[in-house]
């Protein structure tokens, strides 16, 4: 309508929340100690940009808004949520906090709200959830007693398997009585989730996935493994539609010592997404902190993670490909060459990979790399990790893409000859005059056709 304008928050009766701009001294961008009812305060994380759904956080019998819930802050940010951690005295405070957060224009949030509580906070969460039209409730270490109301909204219960304050059996039984409840038991974990160990942190991925629900597109920083407590992450692109979709698991190159999940391999991400593939680009541990065997173990863990969560990602575990380049070209070819229970794949794409380490043993410049990759080594160990020594006709289909002005060109030709001699299914795509690294092919129309060749080959191989 002509002359219409947006109504400000103040005009809507919702003046902006005021608090400490220094935040909570833990998370940048938080507005701390915002008064929402009398002297009751909350901490607010609602960054600029696209409006986010909101999570209302309720602590239990101990602590306050900045203690027992701190591990949730980063998980909620990764899941694309704003969050509001509250101090409160009673259920009316919780209701008031929800209304305060939702008042139009006050915070950069959508109308969707979930309530997350721990310990005795579970009672308040379940009692107010339906009244405030919450889309769901998450409970950590819920106190199970006669006062705990049955959930009438979707519920996720995350509970320690060794909780001796509220037994996991009672918690799971309570979950079964709810209208819609998912129960996630954390093996060996005690009552207080802030004390759970890194090898028990799988709940973070379960929570993030539950919060994302069926949202598609780009997912960032999914933790797929925690070897020795170190988080290994992947980025994922999830296709729209019913699926299940074919998927490609991608590992970057970098000489086994450099790079990450967005380095070197960026040119293949867009064509894969546009062609209808889901993709998962992974971080893995690098030398000299680990050897090649541990790097291979990381990639196998990533494959298993995607397969085990295929329904979550809407992918078909019977149509999985792995893709590597340079150092990770060795990795994907080696993984395809060995038995891999739970991490089987149906296709392999290797760009300018390393397939024979024994040649490096004769080169003074190559020996330091072998020392870094394997520690102590002999010819038997080099053959063990060289794909060229494990060729058979039973390999999954392999696509080799190689520039002819790359120092690894001869090694790729030798590997292709072995594949041919063994009767393996393979295709070799040569880019005349192209150097090492697909990032160096960008802007050269004479080499850019490799993308279409790769997509067509994957479509045919993953039918």
> In tens digits, what is the pLDDT along the chain, a chain of 463 residues?
344 334 445 546 798 889 999 999 999 999 999 999 999 999 999 999 999 999 999 999 999 999 999 999 999 999 999 999 999 999 999 999 999 999 999 999 999 999 999 999 999 999 999 999 999 999 999 998 888 888 889 999 999 999 999 999 999 999 999 989 999 999 999 999 999 999 999 999 999 999 998 889 999 999 999 999 999 999 999 999 998 999 999 999 999 999 999 999 999 999 999 999 999 999 999 999 999 999 999 999 999 999 999 999 999 999 999 999 999 999 999 999 999 999 999 999 999 999 999 999 988 888 999 999 999 999 999 999 999 999 999 999 999 999 999 999 999 999 999 999 999 999 999 999 999 999 999 999 999 999 999 999 999 999 9
Domain hosting residue 239, numbered range? 216-461
Whether residues 57 and 181 fall in one domain? yes
Task: Write out the H or E segment, with its range, that includes residue 426.
Answer: strand 426-431
**CB neighbour list of residue 333: distance below 8 Å, 6 or more residues apart:** 324, 348, 350, 353, 355, 387, 398, 415
Whether residues 205 and 235 fall in one domain? no
Helix (H, G, I), strand (E, B) or coil at 324: strand
Whether residues 235 and 306 fall in one domain? yes
Ramachandran area for residue 117 (φ above 0: left; ψ -120 to 50: alpha; else beta): beta
Helix (H, G, I), strand (E, B) or coil at 261: coil
Pick the last residue of a domain from 195, 211, 227.
Answer: 211
CA angle 429, 322, 390 (to 5 degrees): 75
Spell 271-282 as b/e; 16+ CB within 10 A means b.
ebbebebbbbbb
DSSP 6-56: PPPTTTTT-PPP--BTTTTSSSTTPEEEEEEETTEEEEEE--SSS-EEEEE
Longest dimension (CA), the chain: 81
Whether residues 257 and 154 fall in one domain? no
Full-prediction pTM beyond 0.85? Answer: yes
| CA 111 – CA 57 distance, rounded (Å) | 16
Whether residues 155 and 264 fall in one domain? no
Residue 237 in any domain: the answer is: yes
CATH number where 351 lies: 3.40.50.1820
Domain count, the chain: 2
CA angle 286, 386, 352 (to 5 degrees): 70
DSSP state of 316: E
**CB neighbour list of residue 260: distance below 8 Å, 6 or more residues apart:** 252, 283
């Amino acid at each position: 309508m002509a002359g219409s304008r947006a109504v400000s928050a103040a005009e809507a009766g919702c003046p902006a929340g005021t608090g400490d701009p220094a935040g909570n001294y833990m998370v940048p961008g938080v507005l701390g100690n915002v008064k929402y009812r009398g002297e009751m305060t909350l901490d607010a994380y609602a960054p600029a940009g696209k409006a986010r759904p909101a999570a209302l956080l309720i602590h239990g019998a101990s602590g306050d808004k900045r203690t027992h819930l701190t591990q949730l802050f980063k998980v909620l940010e990764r899941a694309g949520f704003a969050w509001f951690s509250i101090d409160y005295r009673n259920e009316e405070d919780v209701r008031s906090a929800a209304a305060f957060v939702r008042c139009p224009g006050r915070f950069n949030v959508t109308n969707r709200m979930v309530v997350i509580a721990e310990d005795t906070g579970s009672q308040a969460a379940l009692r107010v959830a339906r009244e405030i039209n919450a889309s769901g409730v998450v409970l950590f270490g819920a106190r199970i007693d006669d006062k705990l109301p049955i959930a009438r909204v979707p519920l996720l219960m995350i509970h320690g398997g060794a909780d001796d304050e509220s037994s996991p059996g009672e918690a799971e039984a309570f979950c079964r009585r709810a209208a819609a409840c998912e129960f996630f038991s954390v093996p060996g974990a005690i009552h207080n989730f802030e004390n759970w160990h890194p090898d028990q942190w799988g709940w973070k991925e379960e929570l993030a996935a539950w919060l994302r629900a069926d949202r598609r597109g780009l997912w960032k920083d999914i933790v797929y493994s925690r070897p020795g407590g170190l988080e290994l992450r992947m980025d994922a692109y999830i296709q729209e539609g019913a699926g299940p979709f074919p998927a490609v698991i991608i590992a970057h190159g970098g000489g086994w010592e450099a790079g990450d999940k967005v380095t070197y391999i960026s040119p293949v991400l867009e064509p894969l997404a546009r062609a209808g593939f889901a993709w998962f680009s992974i971080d893995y541990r690098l030398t000299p902190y680990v050897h090649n065997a541990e790097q291979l173990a990381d990639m196998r863990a990533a494959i298993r993670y995607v397969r085990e969560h295929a329904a979550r990602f809407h992918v078909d575990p019977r149509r999985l490909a792995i893709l590597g380049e340079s150092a990770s070209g060795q990795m994907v070819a080696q993984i395809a060459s060995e038995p891999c229970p739970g991490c089987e794949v149906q296709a392999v794409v290797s760009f300018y990979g390393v397939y024979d380490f024994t040649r490096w043993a004769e080169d003074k410049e190559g020996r330091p790399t072998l020392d870094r990759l394997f520690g102590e080594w002999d010819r038997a160990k080099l053959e063990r990790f060289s794909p060229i020594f494990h060729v058979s006709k039973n390999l999954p289909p392999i696509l080799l893409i190689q520039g002819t002005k790359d120092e690894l060109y001869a090694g790729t030709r030798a590997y292709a000859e072995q594949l041919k001699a063994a009767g393996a299914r393979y295709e070799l795509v040569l880019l005349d005059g192209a150097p090492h690294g697909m990032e160096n092919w960008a802007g050269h129309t004479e080499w850019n056709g490799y993308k279409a060749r790769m997509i067509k080959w994957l479509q045919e191989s993953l039918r």
